[in-house]
Amino acid sequence: PYVKVYLLCQGKRIKKKKTTVKNKTLYPVYNESLVFDVPADNVEDVSLIVKVIDYD
């Protein structure tokens, strides 16, 4: 499995990032940082969508 994170600004997807894939585990641990640069003026207009995806 891996995690995809989408950054939305006023409902429109503007950036996306993903973690590394963790193979052969039912209990993955992600000690990773996904950093999005958001101008201070836009902080109230952004939201995140987090999806955990597994091929199995």
- pLDDT tens digits for 6-26? 999 989 999 999 999 999 998
* E-only strand ranges, 1-56: 2-9, 12-18, 46-53
| Contact criterion met (CB below 8 Å) for 44 and 56 | no
Average pLDDT, the chain: 94
pLDDT in tens, 27-51: 999 999 999 999 899 899 999 999 9
CB 7 within 8 A of CB 55: no
Q: Are 55 and 48 in contact (CB under 8 A)?
A: no
Whole-structure pTM value: 0.85
